[in-house]
Structure 1
Amino acid sequence: MSETGALAYWFDIAPSVTGEWLDWYLQDHMPSRVGTTFVAGRCYEALGATSSHMVLFETATPEALLAPSYLELLKQVSDEDRQRRSWYSNPIRVICRVVGRSGRGTGSVLGVLRITDSQGASDEMIRATLNELLAAGRKVKGIGSAWVLQNDNSMRIRMDEARVTGHQDGSADWAILIEGGHQGDVEKALDLFEGIQAWRSLELGDAVTRGVYRLLYTMSQSDQAGI
């Protein structure tokens, strides 16, 4: 990932509609986003996490999320879209700036530490700590890349002004993502993170959510060429 903007979204989908939701997401929703505002998108299913699914869309810059064409797209909500919205529960949507990155590529397994509330810790302290974790994670065998996301709430507010649905979605302040090929390697990296003194000293407690996901599908801008 070389982009500097991202939209991260965690949610639960009821097992009874998971197949229908995934088919719609891959055939309709992702193609309508990737190649316009977003340069790439990914869809994940939980291996061990509080949210059953996660999606991640990347933009060339954070400001691309405020492109007039995308804001206009957010206003276009059909009756079918409103029905699909009922499939989602416990949504968390984060408009992100990528503030740290190490390594390259996309792993088949993604590990996440998401900070919902910074608990009074300064942005500088959290950024420094997460970048320390980022460097440590790359030393774990089987880990190919890691990156740090910071929420930009001012952009979330501007997007919500255009949205027809989703205003009540939850949010988060920070996330560190780590990518590997096997669940065990990613779990080891997350265990390492949680044992590092700088991380422990933040005393974030229940404000941190840990999750591990497997990649279901990925789509890039180049996939749309010639269609």
Structure 2
Amino acid sequence: MSLLGKAAVAMWWSVSPERRSEFGDWHSHEHFPERMNIPGFRRGSRWTSTRDAESFFVLYELEQYDTLTSKGYLDRLNAPTPWSTKMMPHHRNMVRSQCRTAASFGGGVATSLATITLSPADGKEAELRTALVPALRELALKPGLTGAHLLITDTPKTSAPTTEQQIRGSDAAADWIVLLSGYDPDIVQDAASGRFSASALRSIGAEETVVMGWYRLAFTMTPSDLALA
């Protein structure tokens, strides 16, 4: 899976079992089409955790970083639909990172995904990035894998929380995010656990804390899909 554009919104959250059916309906049939109608949105994908039945990862791929502060996007964030207003309070433990795409290798849309969140140690940003980028380029070509990417959170300077954020409550944010995608979930897991363990990342300039997640593709949409509706 190669990322489309130069920026992204990466999000993790959980939904209680009793809300999952309505959540899937709303997110697939209203929320994704709404987002794909915003200029600058290139693709959205929703991933279901393979370890925690309540957890999801969602990625929006954006044409440019400026899309994050565009009028089209902010207008939607500040005017949620009635259905969105109903569903937003059920987004629990939200982590929402607005990112620049630092590196992206691979192609296609895969079925398995590992997310790895990390932070550079003090003064080690350049060293860590220099080590990560060639490793990701190499992994994207391995059998069983299809993509390897690095996102770096760069939250835009905004004057106030949006209406959607106010409905959800406080959102956390990740720092650096590695995404590994592939068609073989075992290989995706092995690659993530080996090359991106806390000890391996610490040896190239990362802090100790590393958080991994394992997901399978649930739904994806691009603006071109709207013409088929």
TM-score by length of 1: 0.88
Give the alignment partner of residue 152 of structure 1, picking from 138, 149, 154: 154
Shift in Å, 1:211: 0.9
Deviation per residue, 1:94-134 (Å, 9 max, x gap): 0011011111111111111112x434253312322321431
AA aligned opposite 1:135: R
- After superposition, the Cα gap between the structure-2 partners of 1:213 and 1:195, relative to the gap in structure 1 and judged at 3 Å, is closer
3-state SS in 2 of match to 1:86:
helix
- After superposition, the Cα gap between the structure-2 partners of 1:68 and 1:43, relative to the gap in structure 1 and judged at 3 Å, is same
Moved over 6 A (4+): none
Shift in Å, 1:79: 5.1
Q: After superposition, where does 1:216-227 map in structure 2 within 5 Å?
A: 216-225=218-227, 227=229
CA distance in 1, matches of 2:220, 2:98: 19
Alpha carbons 2:15, 2:55 under 8 Å: kept: yes
CA distance in 2, matches of 1:101, 1:78: 33
Alpha carbons 1:137, 1:192 under 8 Å: kept: no
Unaligned runs of 5+ in 2: none
Give yes or no for the alignment of 1:163 onto 2:165.
Answer: no
CA RMSD of aligned residues (A): 2.3
Deviation per residue, 1:160-199 (Å, 9 max, x gap): 7361132610001110101101210101111231369762
When the two structures are aligned, how many residues end up with a matched partner? 222
Alpha carbons 1:75, 1:162 under 8 Å: kept: no
3-state SS in 2 of match to 1:166:
helix
Paired position in structure 1 for 2:126: 124
Shift in Å, 1:140: 3.3
Deviation per residue, 1:186-223 (Å, 9 max, x gap): 01111231369762323522x31101100000001111
Alpha carbons 2:111, 2:217 under 8 Å: kept: yes
- After superposition, the Cα gap between the structure-2 partners of 1:210 and 1:49, relative to the gap in structure 1 and judged at 3 Å, is farther
- After superposition, the Cα gap between the structure-2 partners of 1:17 and 1:226, relative to the gap in structure 1 and judged at 3 Å, is closer
Alpha carbons 2:100, 2:154 under 8 Å: kept: yes
Paired position in structure 1 for 2:192: 190
AA aligned opposite 1:47: T
Alpha carbons 1:10, 1:92 under 8 Å: kept: yes
Q: After superposition, where does 1:105-120 map in structure 2 within 5 Å?
A: 105-115=108-118, 117-120=119-122
3-state SS in 1 of match to 2:173:
coil
Give yes or no for the alignment of 1:40 onto 2:39.
Answer: no
Alpha carbons 2:198, 2:210 under 8 Å: kept: no
Paired position in structure 1 for 2:58: 55
CA distance in 1, matches of 2:199, 2:161: 42
Alpha carbons 1:35, 1:220 under 8 Å: kept: no
- After superposition, the Cα gap between the structure-2 partners of 1:47 and 1:15, relative to the gap in structure 1 and judged at 3 Å, is same
AA aligned opposite 1:192: G
Give yes or no for the alignment of 1:73 onto 2:40.
Answer: no
Shift in Å, 1:13: 0.7
Paired position in structure 2 for 1:99: 102
| Percent identity of equivalent pairs | 25
Shift in Å, 1:50: 9.9
3-state SS in 1 of match to 2:165:
coil
Give yes or no for the alignment of 1:15 onto 2:14.
Answer: no
CA distance in 2, matches of 1:77, 1:35: 14
CA distance in 1, matches of 2:123, 2:51: 28
CA distance in 2, matches of 1:221, 1:198: 39
- After superposition, the Cα gap between the structure-2 partners of 1:33 and 1:16, relative to the gap in structure 1 and judged at 3 Å, is same
